[in-house]
Amino acid sequence: MSRLVVISNRVAAPTGSHSGAQGGLAVALQAALLEHGGVWFGWSGERTDEYTGEINYTEGFGVTTATIDLEDQDIEEYYDGYANRTLWPLFHYRIDLAEYERGFADGYQRTNERFADSVRPLIGEGDAVWIQDYHMIPLGQELRKRGVKNRMGFFLHIPWPPRRLLSTLPHAAELATTLFAYDVVGFHTREWLESFQDFATKELGATLGEGGVLTLGDRTVTAIACPIGIDTTEFVEASRGVNARLAYRRMRDSADGRDMIVGVDRLDYSKGLEERFLGYERFLEEHPDQRKEVFLLQIAPPSRASVESYRKIRSTLDAMSGRINGAFADTDWVPIRYVNQGYPRDVLAGIYRAAKIGLVTPLRDGMNLVAKEYVAAQDPEDPGVLILSRFAGAAEQLTQAVLINPYSAEEMADAISMALAMPKAERIERWRALMDNIEQEDVLWWRDRFAAALMAA
């Protein structure tokens, strides 16, 4: 393939290993850039008094990054506003939290135009352009307006909502139409893909042809389901390294013979943390005999603290964990260890491995990489059990997990009880099937599959 220009809201500093606190997406994009060469462009995360479009370059581990600074107003309206207060809740089916403000939409458009102006000179003839996520939906159209004829792909990392929900967004049709500027548009699952096809055909009047090709006027776009994976080989290696082993040992020692249930999530209302605490509380109520045999470690580093709904979920969870611990704890046991910190990935791998259950209960999630990391970190001889929400994109692939409806506290309580009692032979059988998928459909598979679609389009 030709050189690659990757564009995403934030650009992670390249690292040579998994020891940094990097998310799966960063690892995936870095892997793509290492293979093809090119540049990764985005917002620096920094503010500037006046936008200049001046680019800051860095080099490291074979990857070039190019970033620009944004003005306060851009950050408020584009990032905190339209991206995180409008699109994020809406695309996670939370129209009760979605804020529809003209100022946010205008700021989103203006900032995407600024990105287009800045990145335009970096795109050479023959380069393939790959744009990531909901922050940048209209960027492709802005680049076309600036004369970019290159192959361009877009990947959405979050769900695409059902047609009727999306229709509540002012100018939803205009936003969805901008996706026709791309040659390929990718979603994690068939479900999100079908929702997009439904919107495109019924609301925009597009026609759907062979191979997922949608036609609208003189533009065609290939829309595909292309589930992201983790860097499985590297994660398995990380889980066997010294930091992982130390973390594993520390957790086992502090567990004092009890079974650990683990949850690891950005502190976000989409992750179903309230429902998780309620499901776990239900388990404690219904199984007094098992109470002191387990504890829940919930790791949830705060995110997007400038947005009110995130401050609210944080205080709700503080109160819930306090209430549940107050109601059930004893002098030598607390049911929930609630931690608001991030950890290096290899330490996380050790923690996952020490847990008898991985409890992953989002109400909606584009994919959910924590579920895959939990599986990859397990001991093949004595693996833990993954309990996974049906509403995570990952549930389309990880069908051998214990799949649950996170809105039902009863179902979650039953699943915890069942997983704790699951015979080793069944745990191994389920784990092997999950691991087969995670090994085959890893992040390199995702990247290659998307790139192949882009080349074929």
Residue 29 or 284 with smaller CB distance to ligand ADQ:
29
Strand pairing report for 56-60 and 63-71 = antiparallel
Q: Which of 84, 112, 368, 437 binds ligand ADQ (CB under 6 A)?
A: 368
Q: Is 365 an annotated catalytic residue?
A: yes
Task: Please work out the total of residues on this chain that contact ligand ADQ, with binding judged by CB under 6 A.
Answer: 22
Residue 162 or 417 with smaller CB distance to ligand ADQ:
162
Of 19, 22, 79, residue with least CA distance to 47: 79
CB 328 within 8 A of CB 335: yes
Q: Tell which positions 89-108 bind ligand ADQ, by CB under 6 A.
A: none
Q: Is 259 an annotated catalytic residue?
A: no
Q: Which of 107, 263, 350, 366 binds ligand ADQ (CB under 6 A)?
A: 366
Residue 180 or 338 with smaller CB distance to ligand ADQ:
338
Residue 124, Cα to own-chain centre: how many angstroms? 30
The one-letter code for the residue type at 21 is: A
Sequence-distant (6+) residues with CB within 8 A of 234 are 17, 18, 27
Residue 228 or 251 with smaller CB distance to ligand ADQ:
228
DSSP 273-336: HHHHHHHHHHHHHH-TTTGGGEEEEEE--B--TTSHHHHHHHHHHHHHHHHHHHHH-BTTB-SE
CB 266 within 8 A of CB 301: yes
Site track for ligand ADQ across 142-171, x = CB under 6 A = ---------------xx-------------
Residue 144 or 276 with smaller CB distance to ligand ADQ:
276
Tokens of 455: 């080349």
375 binds ligand ADQ (CB under 6 A): no
406 binds ligand ADQ (CB under 6 A): no
Instruction: In angstroms, give the least distance from the CB of 333 to ligand ADQ.
Output: 23
Residue written as tokens 């065609």? Answer: 220
Which of these segments, 102-110, 262-270, 285-293, 319-327, binds ligand ADQ (CB under 6 A)? 262-270
> Measured between alpha carbons, how far is residue 176 from residues 143, 180, 424 in Å?
16, 8, 48
Number of H helices, E strands in the chain: 17, 16
Instruction: In angstroms, give the least distance from the CB of 23 to ligand ADQ.
Output: 4
Check 69, 157, 265, 346 and give the catalytic one. Answer: 157
* 23: DSSP letter: -
Q: Which of 12, 226, 228, 412 binds ligand ADQ (CB under 6 A)?
A: 228
Gap between the Cα atoms of 241 and 249, Å rounded: 12
26 binds ligand ADQ (CB under 6 A): no
Instruction: In angstroms, give the least distance from the CB of 89 to ligand ADQ.
Output: 13
SS3 5: strand
Q: For 187-200, b where at least 16 C-beta lie within 10 A, e where not — what string?
A: bbbebbbebbbbbb
Site track for ligand ADQ across 298-337, x = CB under 6 A = -x-x------------------------------------
Instruction: In angstroms, give the least distance from the CB of 156 to ligand ADQ.
Output: 9
Residue 111 or 298 with smaller CB distance to ligand ADQ:
298
Which of these segments, 119-127, 259-267, 382-390, 427-435, binds ligand ADQ (CB under 6 A)? 259-267
Q: Which of 172, 348, 385, 412 binds ligand ADQ (CB under 6 A)?
A: 348
- Residues facing 220 on adjacent strands: 215
- The residue at minimum Cβ distance from ligand ADQ is 367
Residue 23 or 103 with smaller CB distance to ligand ADQ:
23
Gap between the Cα atoms of 153 and 128, Å rounded: 8
> Measured between alpha carbons, how far is residue 435 from residues 230, 352, 381, 401, 429 in Å?
11, 15, 13, 11, 10
Sequence-distant (6+) residues with CB within 8 A of 307 are 80, 84, 85
Instruction: In angstroms, give the least distance from the CB of 384 to ligand ADQ.
Output: 16
Gap between the Cα atoms of 357 and 374, Å rounded: 9
Q: Which of 11, 14, 18, 24 binds ligand ADQ (CB under 6 A)?
A: 24
Q: What are phi and psi of 73, to 5 degrees?
A: -65, -35
Instruction: In angstroms, give the least distance from the CB of 350 to ligand ADQ.
Output: 12
Of 269, 231, 264, residue with least CA distance to 447: 231
Q: Which of 1, 21, 213, 452 binds ligand ADQ (CB under 6 A)?
A: 21
Residue 144 or 352 with smaller CB distance to ligand ADQ:
352
Which of these segments, 16-24, 54-62, 240-248, 420-428, binds ligand ADQ (CB under 6 A)? 16-24
343 binds ligand ADQ (CB under 6 A): yes
* Residues designated as active site: 157, 365
Judged by the rule CB under 6 A, the positions of this chain that interact with ligand ADQ are 21, 23-25, 157-158, 228, 264-266, 299, 301, 342-343, 348, 365-370, 373
